[in-house]
Amino acid sequence: MLLGVVLTTYYFGLWLGRENVESRKKRILLLGVGINLALLVLMRYLPFAVENLRLLLRPLIGTVSVPMPRVLSSIGMSFYTFQALSYSNDIYREIQIPEAHLGRFALYVCFFPKLLQGPIERAGGLLIQLRKPFEFDYENTREGLLRIAWGLFKKVVIADRVAVIVNTVYGNAGGFTGLPLIVATYSYAIQIYTDFSGYTDIALGTARLFNIRLTENFNKPYFAQGVADFWRRWHISLSSWLLDYIFRPLQWRWRDLRLAGPFMALLVTFLVSGAWHGASWNFILWGLLHGLFIAAGESVDKYRK
């Protein structure tokens, strides 16, 4: 899957860079993006889609057995596919020149510290750094090792210890009431932040050993003053990706709908965010709720002020 995404994006990027006719460029973009999205859907969402189709058709066909597709797991695919999609879109919008060197482009997609869980890097920020020859830098090495140590502390000492409380209570939620449920819920907030931001610290620190600066992915998210502010601070590389490649194009397309346009764009953007996080209705509803929260917050913002 990784090889398929790399080769598809690389060759379609070169094709886009050579084409000057707008209508043809758009068809090339849609074809390249469509292939990458098809790979992502095949790997992550096909079993979910078949299961829901089976439930939907049950009143018509009864309990006829529909075999579930068996697919292999491709770890990190949603991260590197989104990175590939941003590369293709940036070439189409002429803010990025196609990378001619296949090895360097493959390194941009596959750079190992950020491959599995991000950050989702833009070509304009990472490809430029990959072109520079490596030279040992003491300060970068020192800062990188300290960042790795801090990330390991957050992950192993905090997140994994708090997980004991969370797993005990959430594993038998019906057996607890009151204070234990409250403690477990707030403990989960600590766990998910220190786990994910700890991993990110390790990734950023490892990249610094190679003199590479990856995108900062967190900025004190639990100090946010609202849901919109939270998403500007949490998983920043994903939030900015969704803003640039889904929300703004939809907002522009629905600009004639006045207030309804931005709200519809918000809901679609966060539905995509929910589906991106996982192939289940829980994540889709979670994304819809966040879209509704932000839309409601923006609509009453001037009254709150």
Which positions are annotated as active-site residues? 277
DSSP characters for 55-87? HHHHHHHTT---PPP-----TTHHHHHHHHHHH
Instruction: For the beta carbon of residue 11, count every other beta carbon within 10 angstroms.
Output: 14
Q: Which two tokens stand for residue 194?
A: 């220190």
Instruction: For the beta carbon of residue 4, count every other beta carbon within 10 angstroms.
Output: 13
Give the 3-state secondary structure of residue 179. helix
Give the 3-state secondary structure of residue 204. helix
Calpha distance 265→249 (Å, rounded): 9
Calpha distance 273→194 (Å, rounded): 21
Q: Which two tokens stand for residue 277?
A: 């996080």
Q: How far apart are the first and last CA of the chain?
A: 49
Under DSSP, the state recorded for 133 is P
Calpha distance 130→214 (Å, rounded): 11
Calpha distance 159→144 (Å, rounded): 21
Burial state string for 37-66 with b = 16 or more CB within 10 A and e = fewer than 16: eebbeebbeeebeeeeebeeeeeeeeeeee
